[in-house]
Amino acid sequence: MTTSAAPGKIPGRTWYRTTVAGMASYLDAGAIITTGTALVLYKEPLGISDAQFGQYSALLTFMIAAGALVGGRLADLFGRKRVFLATMAVYVAGAAILVAAPGTGALYAGVVLLGLAVGADLPASLAMIAEEAPPEHRGKLISFSHILWLVGIIAAQLFGIVVGGLGMTGGRIMYGQLLVLALVVLVLRAGMPESSRWQAAHAGATDGGASATESVDLGTLKKLLRGPYLMPMIAVALFYALVNVGANTGGQFSTLMYTEMAGTTVQFASTVGFVTFAIAFGATYLLMRIVDGAHRMRWFAVMAVFYTLGYLIPVAFGVQVWTLVAMGVVGSIAGAVAGEPMFKVWAQELIPTTYRSTAQGVMIAFTRVVAAVVALWTPALLAASPDVLFGFVAACIAVGGVIGYCWITRYPRVADDEPTAAPVAAASTTTTGSTDEGAR
């Protein structure tokens, strides 16, 4: 992509494309938070049982995992744009069903479609962001998708506050917000070009006369299962799954901790949640400033230590309101630098364009399944021994930090050396080599 922007400045067109593609993160967070709230509002009018409520939540998580596997692979075979247009169409269909759902059966169908769409959209959209970003700003623009994820959470919570007293109508409004936004994103994405790096990679795949689909299909299987990208994929997947245990535990069960264990109210827990998300915004902005610099891993190491220690505060001082608040604040700051946003960065840097979405689909699916399994046991562990739970989460984060600092950083940034399509060839000559501190 040629640009007249001053050196070091990200063109407005790049910000636009990053935002439109990155809306996958907003819609992911919006689907999860909205479903958790809207189903409560649907529960009595539609006669949803406690067992069904749990089934809907688990089904959404597992469908996101399945969608990531399928969507990631399809995006490598057929292109980022085709997949994230198709996923938005499926998302619109799922949201429409959930808006108009007349009974519990329709809810199952809507949740399945919504989960599949979200899961399939994430790897394709993140790959598009990475492949269209100037190499010197790739980490910054990928990190920006985490900002959109936070906005999605806050927007869903605000809708819950505003329409939560309207009963089933409120739930329909919450899903309606996602429906309208998904339609807008679908229209905007239709006007975006295909990833130039994906086009260049597929042009290279057809040099020997085989079709792009056949060549990339075989290459994906060989490279990921036996080739040089298997170990980076395993390392990043383990890192993401481990640090996500902390984020998922704090996100899903913080209200339960505050009300059942610390003796405070839902309103107080919600207030703390808003404050910690505001802090997370600032911390993610910090990551955007340092992620493409030479000191990224120094920041990562420090924040990984704080992230681990944050979950040990209730162990050391007991489960009280102030210890839970402290844990949430520390986690919001440290997790932005040593948590999920770094997975997004490494997943783009360490896996080449031809296999990037497939690998991300595997990593996202693995992490969601681990999160679902851990979540099944979390309430019981909280009731039996909070210290065991918090110690377990801290251990997961600590191991994830070690993997990030000592293992992942051994691999080169292969994305820096990839070819680009003709329209962006001039810009690609300024890319940095993969010898620049590897993944550091």
Domain boundaries, the chain: 17-195, 223-440
**Are residues 434 and 417 in contact, defined by beta-carbon separation less than 8 angstroms?**
yes
Domain at 223-440, CATH from 1.20.1250.20, 3.40.50.720, 2.60.40.1180, 1.10.3720.10: 1.20.1250.20
What sign does the CA torsion over 109, 371, 36, 22 have?
negative
Residue 340 or residue 426, greater confidence? 340
Residues 211 and 223: their CA atoms lie apart, in Å, by 18
For range 392-403, the mean pLDDT: 96
Helix 266-290 / helix 230-256 crossing angle, nearest 10 deg: 150
pLDDT at 430: 36
pLDDT at 435: 36
Two structure tokens written together for 340 = 């999920």
Confidence of residue 417 (pLDDT cuts 50, 70, 90): low
Query: What are the start-end ranges of the H helices in 291-320?
Result: 296-310, 313-317
> What's the mean per-residue pLDDT of the chain?
82
Residues 235 and 238: their CA atoms lie apart, in Å, by 5
From residue 172, give the alpha-carbon distance in Å to each of 27, 38, 117, 424: 16, 7, 19, 44
Q: Provide the CA 193 distance to its chain's centre, in angstroms.
A: 23
Residues 81 and 202: their CA atoms lie apart, in Å, by 14
Two structure tokens written together for 49 = 């049982």
For range 162-181, the mean pLDDT: 88
Confidence of residue 427 (pLDDT cuts 50, 70, 90): very low
pLDDT at 220: 53
**Are residues 5 and 132 in contact, defined by beta-carbon separation less than 8 angstroms?**
no
What percent of the chain is predicted at pLDDT more than 90? Answer: 30
Nearest to 123 by CA among 167, 61, 74: 74
Q: What is the per-residue pLDDT across 337-382, written as a single tens digit (0 to 9) for each?
A: 999 889 988 988 888 877 888 888 889 889 988 988 887 788 788 8
The three-class DSSP label of residue 280 is helix
pLDDT at 221: 58
Judged against a pLDDT cut of 50, whether residue 433 lies above it is answered with no
Confidence of residue 5 (pLDDT cuts 50, 70, 90): very low
Query: What are the start-end ranges of the H helices in 206-229?
Result: 212-225
- The radius of gyration computed from the CA coordinates of the chain, to the nearest angstrom, equals 21
Q: What is the per-residue pLDDT across 283-314, written as a single tens digit (0 to 9) for each?
A: 988 888 888 888 889 999 999 999 999 999 99
Two structure tokens written together for 197 = 């790096």
The two domains 17-195 and 223-440 share their CATH topology (first three levels equal): yes
Judged against a pLDDT cut of 80, whether residue 226 lies above it is answered with no
**Are residues 98 and 38 in contact, defined by beta-carbon separation less than 8 angstroms?**
yes
DSSP conformational letter for 293 = S
Judged against a pLDDT cut of 80, whether residue 388 lies above it is answered with yes
Q: What is the per-residue pLDDT across 66-80, written as a single tens digit (0 to 9) for each?
A: 998 888 888 888 888
Residues 116 and 91: their CA atoms lie apart, in Å, by 8
Residues 142 and 312: their CA atoms lie apart, in Å, by 30
Judged against a pLDDT cut of 80, whether residue 270 lies above it is answered with no
Judged against a pLDDT cut of 80, whether residue 206 lies above it is answered with no
Fold classification of 17-195 is: Growth Hormone; Chain: A; (1.20.1250)
Residues 159 and 174: their CA atoms lie apart, in Å, by 6
Residues in the chain: 440
pLDDT at 215: 46
pLDDT at 160: 78
Judged against a pLDDT cut of 50, whether residue 46 lies above it is answered with yes
What percent of the chain is predicted at pLDDT more than 70? Answer: 86
Residue 254 or residue 209, greater confidence? 254
Residue 151 or residue 429, greater confidence? 151
Confidence of residue 200 (pLDDT cuts 50, 70, 90): confident
